[in-house]
Structure formats: C-alpha cells, structure tokens
Structure 1
Amino acid sequence: MSAPTTNIPVSVPAGQRSPAPSGGRGGPGTGPATIAGSLSGIPDARSVVTRLLHGTPGRMRVLGLVAVVAALVVGAVSVSALLGAQAAVDRAATNTAQVVRAQTMHVELLRADALATNAFLVGGLESPQSRAQYEAAMSAVARGISEAAAAQPADAEALGALSAQVQQYAALVEQARTNNRQLLPVGAQYLRQASAGLRAEAIPTVEAVVTANEKRSRDEFSHSSSVVLLVLGALALAVLVYVAVWLARRTHRYLNRSLTGAVALLLVGLVAAAVTVGNISRDAQAVDRGSYTQVKALADVRTAAYDARAQEGLGLVARGQSGDSEKAFTADVREVTDAINDVTPRQTRQSLGEQWSAYTTKHGEIRAADDSGDWEQAVGLATSTGSGSATATFTTFDTTASNLREDASREVAASLDGIGGRAPWIALALGAAALAAAWLVLRGFAQRLQEYR
C-alpha cells in the first residue's frame, strides 16, 4: 500500500534546502521549469537576421531588395513623367483659353469705346445699328468676365474689380449720351472721362489678367518635358544593371534570364516614356510658337486698331485740340504694324497690312479736313458708312483680323486637346511592366539563392 500524499506545505528549517522532488523530468537536483528556461531554446531575432545577411547569400538578399525597389522606381517615374506631361498640357490649355477670353474682353472694351465715340459725333442722331453694336460689345465683355471667373479662380479678384470698372465706364457713357442728345457741351467731358477711366483702370486690369495667364501657359509648356523624372528613372535603371552585373560575377553566371528580362522590360518602358514625353513636349512647344503666337498677335492687332479708331473720334470730339489723341493714334499705328509683322503666313500678313494701310489713308483725309478748319467735313468722313469710307475700310480690316484670330483660336484648342491622348494608356502599360519586372527580379535572385542551399 502506497504512502498517502498531502498538499499541505511543510516548513523547512533555516539553513536547509528544500529537497528536490523525485521522479521529475529534471531528475534529482534539478529546479522547477520557468518561462525564461522554456524560451532558452528559441534563437535570438538578431541572430536570425545576422544569419540571413551573412556571407554571399546575405548580400544577395540585400541587393535583391535593392533591385526590386529600383525596378519599381523606374516604373513609378515613367508613369509619373507621362501623366505629369499630360497634366501640364491640360493646364496649359486651360490657361491659353483664359488668355483668349481676356484678350477678347480687351478687344470688345476698346470696340465699345470706339463705337461710343463715333456715335457721339453725330449728336442725338445715333443709329439703331450703332447702338446695337455697342450693346453687343458690352454684353460680350460681361459674358467674358463671368466665363473667365468660372474658368480660373486665381483671376477672380481681378475680374471682380474689372466688373466694377466696366460698370462705371458704362454709366459715364450713358451720361455722355444723355447730355449729347440735349446738345449740352458737358457730354463731351463725360465721354472723355469715360475713355480716360477705361484706359487708366479697366484696360490695365485686363492686361494684368492676360499677362498672368500667359506666364502660367509658358510655365506649363516648359513643364511638359518631365526631364527630371526621366533622369531619376535612368539612374534607378543603372542601379538595377549594376546589381545584375554584381550577381553575374559573384555566381559566375553571365546570363540570368529573369534579371535580363527585367532590365530589358524596364529599358523598353523607360525609352517609350521618354519618347512619348518628348513628343508631348515638342507638340506643345509647336503650338506655343505657332497658332498660339498667332492668336496673341491678332489680338494685339485688333486692340491697337480699335484704340486708334477711338482716338480718331476723341480727336474730333476735342474740336481743334486733337494733339494728344493724334499722338496716341500714331503710337497705335506702330503697334498694329508691329503685330501684323508677327502674323503668318506671308500672304495673310501682306493682305492684312494692305487693309490697314487703306484705313490709315482715310484717317489722313479726316485729319486733313479737321486741321484745315472744316470740322463738319471731318466728322462726315469719320462717321460715313458708305463704300470706301473710313468706317467701311476699318470694318473690312477688323473682319479679316477677327476671322483669322477665331481660326487660330480653334486651332490652338484642337491642337492642345490632341496632344498626348495615348499617354494614360501607355502609363498603364508601363505600370504593369514595372510590376512584372519586379517579379522577374525576385525570381532571378531566388534561383541563385537556391544554389547555395
């Protein structure tokens, strides 16, 4: 019969050790198992890492990781370069459209002023057609301000100020008309004040909007090349080639099909990205130097021409004190001539120049009559709408310039819209190629590591 057992603790005299339990796994003299003791057989994490990175296999693992990262970087920068170039062209298109809107407002403001000035010369006998043309010009300005504010938030503050300035101009013109119909001399003062305010406030505001958007357009045209990203991609590819060469020398294998395939795939992708980005940049620069330059030149032609036409009328309104207006007219003539010289092709430039010369000849006849003291004849020559009159020759010139500008504007929009249309699809293909290349890199290093086991 076995001796009974007990769970009652037994005191141990001081100075003596508790006897070890017999029959335990540790045998006589072994202590109880502890948590620390149970984990003593698990390798230290640092020793595992050290073993993984030790020797040639360890360096292979590190460089394999570097190669995978390099492959992904090549793919990422190729995709970013393509999408960045396409986005730059889209932003350039937005800014060039804003330039066209602002230049149109500039033209219409001066057109309205020329019409108001010319109508003032006939006193209270303004024709319904002239009034309708003035209202159409002012409506075009108001519509342009609304569209421009919606299209480019950065111009909102300037366009808000322009709206107030245009309203002030319109109010002064109405006061001039009212007094002119009553044959009150103060009407001329209101007209001069309106024209002076237009050129001192509204026109500089429009020009500031044009300048700001032209700068944005130039910046975006220059950003369409994405050169920095492509250089970064080339450096990452060079790192991958270096790793492939190191692996070949270390393993005495001069051809690792997986790594070679990855390098070839990424090289083709990077070249495709560079070629596509180069084409986008080239086409964007061609638009900038071609049809976009034509649009700006023709806008300058029309704004200076309408300012000249308004100055012609203001000179007659001044009645014998046309010196300042004639100086401004002469400056406008030079500006129109310079702008026409930027118009292409040569045949168009020559035709436009001849039409402008025909108008300036008629202006000379007006000035000759006024300077000789025949103000009534000068006014008749300035306000006549018959064939061969100053108004008719100017209208012919302006219609030609307007049609040319509209054609050039449509060409700019169509050209920019067609640039880089395949870029997103090419970027998608390059992204997939980069992932495939990263997998090939892993496969190539795995093959060599297997040889060391």
Structure 2
Amino acid sequence: MARTGQSVAARPPTADGGSARRYLAHLPAAVVRERFDPAELRSFARSSPARLIAMGLLLIGLCLAAGTVASDTVGARQEALDVLLADTEPDADSAHRLYTTLSIADAAASTAFISGGVEPESVRDRYTQAIGEAAAELVIQSGHVGGGITSDVRLRTGIATGLPVYTGLIETARTNNRIGNPVGAAYLSEASNQMQTTLLPMAEELQDQRSDAVDTAQRDHVRPPWTAIALLILALTVLVWAQVESAKRWRRTFNAGLLLASAAMAILLGWTVIAGSLSATAMIQGRDHGAVPASRLTESRILAQQARSAETLKLVRRDATGDYDRTFDSGIARLDELLGGYPADAAARGSVAEARAALARWRAAHQRMNDALAHGDFQGAALVATGQGAADSAAQVEALDRALGQGIAETRQTLRGRIARATGALTLLAPGATVLAVLATIYIGLGVWPRLREYR
C-alpha cells in the first residue's frame, strides 16, 4: 500500500497491464487537482510573478480604457461640430431669413398701398421678392425637420398654410385700392394683423428654436471632457505607482517599458487638454464674436421692419389714436439701444456704423412726416414716407436694412469660421488616442515580460 500523502501521480505502475491503464487514466485528473490546489493557488497569488501579471493586466486595461474613451469622446465632438456646421447653423439662418422676409413683405405691402392706384414697381418687386423668398425658405426647411420635433413641423405647416391667406388679403386690398374703394384699407389692416399676430409669432418661435439648438451645441462643446481626462490621469497615476513599486520590489531604478507607456499616456493627456482647449476657445470666440452679435443684428433688422409697418399703417388708416406712433417709437428705441450697445470687438462694426447713420436719417424723415400730418398735408407725408430721396423714409429704411443684412452675413461668416477652426483643432486626435493607447499596452508588455522571465 502507498504511503499516506503520496500523490497518485507518484505511484509507480505495476506490472499488471490493467493496473497500468488505470494509472494512466487517472493521471490527468491528478495533475489538474495538484495544479489547482487552493493552497497552491494562494501561494502563487502571493508570489512576485502573479503580482507582475496582475499589475500588467491592470495597466493594460486602464490604458486601453482611457484611449478608447478619449477617442470616442473626440469623435463624438467632431461629429457634433460637423452637424452644427452642415445642418444646425444653416437651419437657424434659414429660420432667420424666413422671419425677416415675412417682416419685409408686410412693410412693403403697406408702403405700396400708400401710393394709391398702381404702386411703384420697385415697391411691388420688393414685396414679391420677399414673399418668394419666404416660400423658398419654407421649402428648404421642409428637408430639415429639426430631428422630428413636432413643434417645428407644426410651425412650418402653420406658416405655409397662413401665407396664401395673407397674400390673398393683400391682393384684395390692392384691387380695391386701385379702383378707389375705401374698403381696401380694411383688407390691408386685416392682412397686416394676421401677419403680426399669427405668421410672425410662429416664425419667431421657429427662429428661437433653431437658435437655441445652435446655443446648445456651443455650450455642449465648451464643456470639458471630464471622463476622458479623469481616465487619462488615472492611467498615468497608476503607471507612475507601478514604476515606484517595481523599483522597490525588484531593485530596478527604471523600467524602460513602463516609462515609454507613461510617456504615451502623458502625450495623449496633454494633446487632449491642449486640443480641447483650443477647440473650446474657438467656439467661445464664435459665440461672442459671431452668434451673439448676429442675434443682436437679427433682432434689429426685424424691429426695423416692424417699425416701418407701423409707420406706413399710420398713413393708411389715418390713425389719430397714437397706437402706431407708440409701436414705432418703442421699436426704434429698442433698435437704437441694440445698435448703440453693439460690441466694439465684434465683426461687422462698419455695417453697424452705417446702420446707425441710416437710422438717424430715418428718424429725421419720420419727424418730417409727422409734421406734415400735423398740418393736414397727407400727400406731403406720403411722399416723405415712400420717396426714394436721400431725406425720405423709404430710402433710409432700405439703407438700414441693407447694412443690417450685410452685418448679419459678416457675423455669420465669423461664426462658421470659428466652428471650422474648432473642428480643425481636434483633427487626428481621435485616431491618435487609439494609436497611443495601443503603443502604451505594447510598452507595458515589454516592460513586464523581462521581469517575468527572471522567475523561469
């Protein structure tokens, strides 16, 4: 009989053939039990090779996780910038143009009505062009439903449905005006009321939604990628700790592999922080020098058209209540405030200066119109309101709108340029993060393997 404690593997085969076969059959199971004995496993877990393997796996996992998260985060941000540049910002600009052209159409319709009979061709063309551009913007926006937002579709549908009703009322008003029927003024007032209370509020809401989408994209981009940065710092910290432990335990001052892995993670961390900061700075500049001034100029342009509508409707309705004067004065006061407070370091400063000069001349012409009305000279007031002379309202309104339109184009160009710069700052960072993470894992393996070979 074998001694107690002797393993099965140590038992010698007997001369009997059957005993030999039974011995060989039990040999693999015995080896496995011996190899995976709990006591042996605990002993191995406390050994230096096991600690080396665990440390290497931990470092590899952290580096791969940090590189993957950094690459995915940067890729997502680049994609968001591409969407902002290709879809979100153009949609916001389209909504602005829709709102503006509707306001221009309403002001032009009222101006044409003052002339009586057949309106001037230039005024008629301005109205027709504005209506055509508004319809075109509705068609353009039909291909961008704002990510399926129900309110976006509702607003566009409401404007598209109400626009033919408005133009029908305008045509009825013109027909009556040409034949000298006083009811034409009532039709014009009804059309303007529909524009001011229904179409323009919907267009404004649509513009606000699209502008908010741009603002949200800008805010999201300037927020630091804390998760990616935290993982990179953690990976770098653990790499430094591993080198310190390696120096203490294995009496090695430097581990070339771990040093190279640390350098790769440090490069990735610095690249992420610097590129992210440059990209965020470009986006902040786009917001401060592009989006914010553009919003101010957009509001100014719409206020100018609303004030123009109030000015002309006062003549059409022979208003003596002062309601249209109050609307005009409040709109012009706000317009003057917006232009006067325009940022000195923003784009389109020259266009704003031209707009302020045109506004001053318009206010002087409006006062002349009111003075003529105060003396009962309606024809003289109408000539001031619709004349194309340098001292007349119509010419100055056109000059003001032209300057504001140019300013909006300049600020938009600034915004898009900064967005493109923000995208460019992140170029190659996503694939670079993957490459550096893979290099770090290779360096970790090269640093751990020589230590493991020492225990063979």
TM range (shorter): 0.7 to 0.9
Within 2, Cα distance between the matches of 1:230 and 1:188? Answer: 66
Q: Name the CA shift for 1:387/1:334 in 2 (closer, same or farther; >3 Å).
A: closer
Q: Deviations over 1:257-294 (max 9, x none)?
A: 00011001110121012101110000010010002222
1:91–1:220: 8 Å Cα contact kept in structure 2?
Answer: no
Q: Corresponding residue for 1:188? A: 185
User: Gaps (5+ residues) in structure 1?
Assistant: 1-21
Match of 1:159 in 2: 156
1:181-208 deviation per Cα after TM superposition (whole angstroms, max 9, x unaligned): 2322222222112111112222122222
- Which residue matches 2:424? 421
In the other structure, the counterpart of 2:50 is 58
**Could you tell me how far 1:344 is from its partner in structure 2?**
4.6
Tell me how far 1:232 sits from its aligned partner.
3.0
Q: Which position in structure 2 is the counterpart of 1:365? A: 368
Check conservation: 2:261, 2:441, Cα contact below 8 A.
yes
User: Quick check: 1:299–1:405 contact (8 Å CA) kept in 2?
Assistant: yes
Spell out the pairing of 1:339-354 with structure 2 (5 A cutoff).
Answer: 339-345=338-344, 349-354=352-357
> Match of 1:307, SS?
helix
2:140 counterpart (134, 147, 167): 147
Amino acid at match of 1:37: H
Letter in 2 for 1:87: E
1:115 paired residue number: 108
Q: 1:11 aligns to what?
A: none
- Checking the alignment, whether the CA contact within 8 Å between 1:224 and 1:277 is kept in structure 2 is no
Which residue of structure 2 aligns with residue 43 of structure 1? 32
Aligned partner of 1:25 in structure 2 is 17
Larger fraction in helix: 2
Distance, in Å, in 1 between the alignment partners of 2:146 and 2:214 is 15
In the alignment, structure 1 residue 137 sits paired with structure 2 residue 126: no
Task: Give yes or no for the alignment of 1:230 onto 2:233.
Answer: no
| Residue correspondence of structure 1 range 78-97 to structure 2 within 5 A | 78-93=70-85, 94-97=87-90
Q: What displacement does 1:50 show?
A: 5.5
Aligned-residue CA RMSD (Å)? 2.5
What is the rounded CA distance, in whole Å, between the counterparts of 1:316 and 1:391 in structure 2?
Answer: 14
**2:283 alignment partner, SS class:** helix
1:314-348 Cα distance to aligned partner (Å, 9 max, x none): 11111133521111111110221122134354665
Q: Is the 8 A contact 1:312 1:325 kept in 2?
A: yes
Aligned residue for 1:253, secondary structure, equals coil
DSSP-derived class of the 1:255 partner:
coil
Corresponding residue number in structure 2 for 1:276: 275
Further displaced range: 128-137 or 256-265: 128-137
Name the CA distance, whole Å, in 1 between partners of 2:304 and 2:41.
Answer: 80
- Paired amino acid for 1:43: V
1:99-138 Cα distance to aligned partner (Å, 9 max, x none): 2221121111111001000111122221222222111111
In the alignment, the residues of structure 2 paired with residue 110 and residue 85 of structure 1 have an alpha-carbon distance, to the nearest angstrom, of 37
1:425 to partner: Cα distance: 1.9
- Whichever of the two has the greater Rg, that structure is 1
Q: Is the 8 A contact 1:77 1:233 kept in 2?
A: no
Task: Tell me the distance in 1 between the aligned counterparts of 2:283 and 2:355.
Answer: 28
* Whole-Å separation in 2 of the counterparts to 1:176 and 1:236: 75
1:316, 1:322 within 8 Å by CA — same for their partners in 2?
A: no
Aligned residues: 429
Aligned mates of 2:100, 2:418 — CA distance in 1: 24
Distance in 1, matches of 2:200 and 2:49, equals: 73
2:209 aligned partner: 212
Gaps of at least 5 residues in structure 2 are 1-13
The letter of the residue matching 1:203 is: L
Normalised TM-score (structure 1)? 0.87
How far apart in 2 are the matches of 1:232 and 1:71? 8
Q: Percent identity?
A: 23
Match of 1:412 among 409, 415, 424: 415
User: In 2, Cα distance between the equivalents of 1:335 and 1:35?
Assistant: 99
Q: Deviations over 1:27-48 (max 9, x none)?
A: 5xx9x84997364234148548
